[in-house]
Structure 1
Amino acid sequence: MPAITAENQLALPRIERPGPESRPRPAWLVTTARTQLEGEGFQVRRPFPGLEVGIADPFLLLDHIGAVEYAPGEAKGAPWHPHRGFETVTYMIDGALEHHDSTGGGGYIADGATQWMTAGAGILHDEVPPAWLVQKGGLFHGVQLWVNLPASMKWSPPRYQDIGARAVTLLASFDGGALVRLIAGELGGHRGPGVTFTPITLAHVTLAPGTRLETPWRRDFNALVYALNGRGRAGEERRPFGEGQLVVFGNGDHLVVEADELQDARSPNLDVLVLGGRPIREPVVFHGPFVMNSREEIVQAIRDYHAGRMGHIPPTRMDFSHLVGEHIDQDRGGTRR
């Protein structure tokens, strides 16, 4: 994986091993992501939604895209569409995406970079592979996470954060065997660069075969670990999990994740997303690209979108404007981005 690494992992700041008084969180549930098509027809693995209501709160959706080797002409994206009421976090591990939005924000997301878009009161955007990737093909691997906003913040002005790969906080496990890329939130006294409305922690961790990550975890946060590739075990009970599976942890003071001694040749390490946040515990009403607290607010969102109150596609991007109506029609009742 070309996501940011360290020349000397042993020289990185360490996450201190929790003390004997710290209680490990049990690996309560392991669930396998379901596969479906998104956007213009690209395949994703989605571990949630689909869990029991509230388990993933404040997270709404996690899409794992790839790893896939696209042939020339195969790469696809998500054309112009609206959002309201939450944040999208797009993390590119391999390959690239171009993002544009109605506020003039956007950029190039590649090889360890993160694009953090707060839709808030409403925004239009697209996410498409660059022309060179469409023409030549190539490896593509990334994730998109939807983070809910509490009712008091759903009407915040749209905001865009470009978190370059080199801005990510690099850490090592207590024994130096696991590389931690802290994107947002706090871990073991260290902070990531992402600025969040909803208190969360998000990290990409690479564990070499046979190594172990033990990290303190806030008691008021839930805790999830999703395997991007490789095989490992979670919790002190060493519950097995692997690529495309999500581990849901119970209550406690710290997390334990370890990589199996033997890994597949195509995935020499265990790579996981470690994420959690403080649950919002408010009603959630999904309607395609809108996530609000009531059906009435969803109806208002649809009206505001059609009235142009969520912004307009910049003139330089108008080639895609005919797709917007089709996209939202497809989205009704679903969870497309």
Structure 2
Amino acid sequence: MKTNRTIRSILYAQPMDMGGLAIRQPFPSHKAEQIDPFLLLHHADSRVPEHTDVKHAGVGPHPHRGFSPVSFIFKGGVHHRDSRGNDNIVYAGGTQWMNAGMGVIHSERPPENIQETGGRQELIQLWVNSPASHKMDIPDYQPLTAAETPVIVSGDGLATVQVIAGELNGVKGAIRSLSPVNTFTAELKKGAQYRFPVPVSHNAFIYLLDGKLAVTGEGEVEGHYAAIFNNDGEGFEVTALEDTRLFIGTGEPLNEPVASHGPFVMNNQTQLMEAFRDYQMGKMGVLIEE
């Protein structure tokens, strides 16, 4: 019989203000700085006022280097623009996966038609660290729509899982990642049971956007909490006690030093100073939003 992992810690997603945007952040926290190779998770769920000019909503132009800031969109949409010339909108069920590489400036705004899709914008942003050998790659942007995302539906129809990066039960995601990672989103109806196999070398966590789950052998996890698993099994099994939406992340740890400050994630302080210098000198390009 395949062994299930135990839970190492359960993290509450603390409400925070990020430049005027209300978000929740389960990690980093005092309980878990990072879940290598995952650096940070933000869950945002906000209503865009009807008379707001979307050109001034969301997150304006800002730089990144050395990691992949990834947005998983659950409601509404995200209009991505960057200094490499990418200009694209992805709606609910889709993903914006950007490898910042050597440096890029991007913005993430609500789309012009956000009110037609309910006026609400809900997303998870996950920072995925890049291996040292890829931190200075040419930036790469991968948009993925809901229609392009492989989906697994359980035999009883109660569990639906989107496979975004990596592989789950023989189904491969469409995203190319710089290191071995799995990222899935799932909707479980009450009573659904699903087992997620995890490579034994991977770190793994789940985050519940809402609802409540029982993790086999480990107890319950509620909405706005993340559960971090020990590396002591070949997967984990969950049962939905309520209708539940969750995010699943697993990844091969990089086991490399992390030096981060603001929007840059490198391996040492010298590289961080170089990142700030290059940004100030305009080497990450310019983003003028039309």
What TM-score bracket applies, with the shorter chain setting the length?
A: over 0.9
Higher helix fraction (1 or 2): 1
Alignment of 1:242 onto 2:222? yes
Runs of 4 or more, structure 1, over 2 Å off, are: 51-55, 68-76, 130-137, 172-177
Q: CA deviation at 1:73?
A: 4.3
Structure 1's unaligned 5+ residue stretches are 1-19, 264-268, 319-337
Aligned counterpart in structure 1 of residue 148 of structure 2, from 148, 167, 188: 167
Q: CA deviation at 1:175?
A: 4.7
Report if aligned partners of 2:76, 2:117 keep a CA contact under 8 Å in 1. no
Residue by residue over 1:48-96, the C-alpha shift from the partner in whole angstroms, topping out at 9 and shown as x without a partner, is: 1115567511011111011x33432467311111100000111111111
Q: CA deviation at 1:131?
A: 3.5
Give TM-score, length-normalised by structure 2: 0.93
In terms of Rg, which structure is larger?
Answer: 1
Amino acid at match of 1:118: N
Give TM-score, length-normalised by structure 1: 0.80
Q: Structure 1 residues 259, 189: CA separation in 2 closer, same or farther (over 3 Å shift)?
A: same
Report if aligned partners of 1:113, 1:164 keep a CA contact under 8 Å in 2. yes
Aligned counterpart in structure 2 of residue 48 of structure 1, from 20, 27, 30: 27
Query: Pairwise mapping of residues 1-337 of structure 1 onto structure 2 (< 5 A)?
Result: 20=1, 22-39=2-19, 41-50=20-29, 52=31, 56-66=35-45, 68-73=46-51, 76-133=57-114, 138-173=119-154, 175-234=156-215, 236-250=216-230, 251-260=232-241, 263=242, 269-314=243-288, 317=289
Tell me the distance in 1 between the aligned counterparts of 2:49 and 2:246: 27
Q: What is the percent sequence identity of the aligned residues?
A: 35
Residue by residue over 1:103-162, the C-alpha shift from the partner in whole angstroms, topping out at 9 and shown as x without a partner, is: 011310211111111100000111111234379971221111110001111011000101
Higher strand fraction (1 or 2): 2
Secondary structure of the residue that 1:166 maps to in structure 2?
coil
Amino acid at match of 2:192: T
Amino acid at match of 2:257: P
Residue by residue over 1:181-205, the C-alpha shift from the partner in whole angstroms, topping out at 9 and shown as x without a partner, is: 1111011222111110021000011
Tell me the distance in 1 between the aligned counterparts of 2:246 and 2:223: 9
Secondary structure of the residue that 2:147 maps to in structure 1?
helix
Report if aligned partners of 1:73, 1:136 keep a CA contact under 8 Å in 2. no
Report if aligned partners of 2:34, 2:40 keep a CA contact under 8 Å in 1. no
Tell me the distance in 2 between the aligned counterparts of 1:142 and 1:249: 23
Q: CA deviation at 1:230?
A: 0.7
Q: CA deviation at 1:34?
A: 1.1
Q: Structure 1 residues 223, 131: CA separation in 2 closer, same or farther (over 3 Å shift)?
A: same
Structure 1 stretch displaced more, 85-94 or 136-145? 136-145
Tell me the distance in 1 between the aligned counterparts of 2:147 and 2:15: 32
Q: Structure 1 residues 304, 275: CA separation in 2 closer, same or farther (over 3 Å shift)?
A: same
